[in-house]
Amino acid sequence: MSALDETDRRLLRVLQADGRITNAELAKRCHLSPAAAFERVRRLRERGVIAGYAAILDPAQVDLSLMIFVEVLLDRTTGDVFETFAAAIRRAPEVLECHMVAGGFDYLIKARVKDMAAYRAFLGDVLIAMPGVRETRTYAVLEEVKATVQLPI
């Protein structure tokens, strides 16, 4: 895979800030012809640099105001337990992110729910029932200081 040049990076910065920008406006902001901008974006999509486009929703407007982080410790750290846990976590719509981590626990989960009662139901009915879960530690977010999906390129 070839490295990104400064023009690619400029295109990506603009697209990250506004994924709905027209090709004509993108070309203008990046000092390219519309044809050149279109072709570069097409190549970036084909190479997988641009993985997709999405609308970013306000969680409060869709009744998912409470963000929770959960440390998960598994009862065993074997390949089959990792695989079955990962498969189960992928099916949980409340889970926005799940990362296997190094350190004192196995996974860090970021989830969104309506309120603490909804989180209690998720914890008891879904998370604790997942294969291999031995222990969890919950951290409710009091204030979201910074949240972005834009990579610093």
Please report, for the chain, the start and end positions of each structural domain, with discontinuous segments joined by +: 6-46, 59-140
What HEC string does 69-132 produce? EEEEEECCCCHHHHHHHHHHHHCCCCEEEEEECCCCCCEEEEEEECCHHHHHHHHHHHHCCCCC
Q: Is the pTM of this model over 0.85?
A: yes
Neighbours of 118 (CB within 10 A): 18
Amino acid 23: pLDDT: 98
Contact of 133 with 77, CB cutoff 8 Å: no
Instruction: Tell me the pLDDT of the chain (153 aa) as tens digits.
Output: 579 999 999 999 999 999 999 999 999 999 999 999 999 999 999 999 999 999 999 999 999 999 999 999 999 989 999 999 999 999 999 999 999 999 999 999 999 999 999 999 999 999 999 999 999 999 999 999 999 999 999
Q: Does domain 6-46 have CATH number 1.10.10.10?
A: yes
Fold topology of 59-140:
Alpha-Beta Plaits (3.30.70)
Q: Which of 48, 14, 41, 18 is nearest to 29 (CA)?
A: 14
Amino acid 11: pLDDT: 98
Q: Which value, in Å, is the radius of gyration of the alpha carbons in the chain?
A: 20
In sequence order, the β-bridge partners of residue 69 are 110, 139
Amino acid 16: pLDDT: 97
Amino acid 89: pLDDT: 98
Amino acid 136: pLDDT: 98
